[in-house]
A and B are shown apart, each in its own frame.
Chain A
Amino acid sequence: QQQVKQSPQSLIVQKGGISIINCAYENTAFDYFPWYQQFPGKGPALLIAIRPDVSEKKEGRFTISFNKSAKQFSLHIMDSQPGDSATYFCAASGKDDYKLSFGAGTTVTVRA
């Protein structure tokens, strides 16, 4: 079964709105939580990542919020733009572990 549960499967947002994608995990050994962005016809690319020693990380319009006690983390896309339309994957890995466990993915569509 998937070690990282991601929701929603898809979402539609108007230009300028906020997109929110949520992920949950059970494995307390996870200590690295990246988000990957994938455009159609391309491979995923690292967007932003967080370690559990901080509760929030922001890069431009993208913010990760992390709740260690709840074992949840989320991606917020502020002021969503049509160019943000893509599939987003959350992932997690343990300390000194090369392997990433991915969520199922969320397809975001930003309507102009």
Chain B
Amino acid sequence: DVKVTQSSRYLVKRTGEKVFLECVQDMDHENMFWYRQDPGLGLRLIYFSYDVKMKEKGDIPEGYSVSREKKERFSLILESASTNQTSMYLCASSLSLYEQYFGPGTRLTVT
């Protein structure tokens, strides 16, 4: 069965902290994605990766960076967390151009 796991379901951080969100997939997928989900805005793509050490900016990359050192793991980094980064963060992976498999999400609160 397909599985995408995220390191935390809930996270509370202070403004200015460096935050790491981890995502692991067990499907040997080439592509991995990070989205943020906000009410009324849907899912917005932050970054995606189509291979190890390869990354591309999505629609809202400002304030974020990513790391993909191994095929199964894709990390989202908030270099200096701000309150406007309080959101639900979703990781996804895909083998083909089409179906994306999502993790359960991490609800991040920045105070």
Binding site for B on A (CB under 8 A): 2, 6, 9, 32, 34, 36, 41-46, 49, 89, 93, 96-100, 102-105
Which residues of A are found within 8 Å of B33, using beta-carbon distances? 98-99
The reply to whether B31 and A98 form a contact with Cβ atoms under 8 Å apart is yes
The reply to whether A32 and B90 form a contact with Cβ atoms under 8 Å apart is no
Alpha-carbon distance between A104 and B45 when the two chains are bound, in angstroms:
13
Which residues of A are found within 8 Å of B94, using beta-carbon distances? 98
Q: Is the interface of B mostly helix, strand, loop or mixed?
A: strand
Q: Is the interface of A mostly helix, strand, loop or mixed?
A: loop
Alpha-carbon distance between A6 and B41 when the two chains are bound, in angstroms:
10
The reply to whether A2 and B42 form a contact with Cβ atoms under 8 Å apart is yes
B66 CB–A CB distance under 8 Å: no
**With A9-B40, A32-B98 given, is the CB distance from A43 to B103 under 8 Å?**
yes
In this complex, how many residues of chain B approach chain A with their Cβ under 8 Å: the count is 25
Binding site for A on B (CB under 8 A): 4, 31, 33, 35, 40-45, 48, 50, 58, 90, 92, 94, 97-105
Which residues of B are found within 8 Å of A6, using beta-carbon distances? 42
Alpha-carbon distance between A36 and B37 when the two chains are bound, in angstroms:
13
**With A98-B48, A104-B42 given, is the CB distance from A34 to B98 under 8 Å?**
yes
Alpha-carbon distance between A36 and B42 when the two chains are bound, in angstroms:
11
Alpha-carbon distance between A6 and B97 when the two chains are bound, in angstroms:
23
**CB contact between A103 and one of B42, B99, B105 (< 8 Å): that residue:** B42
Which residues of A are found within 8 Å of B105, using beta-carbon distances? 42-43
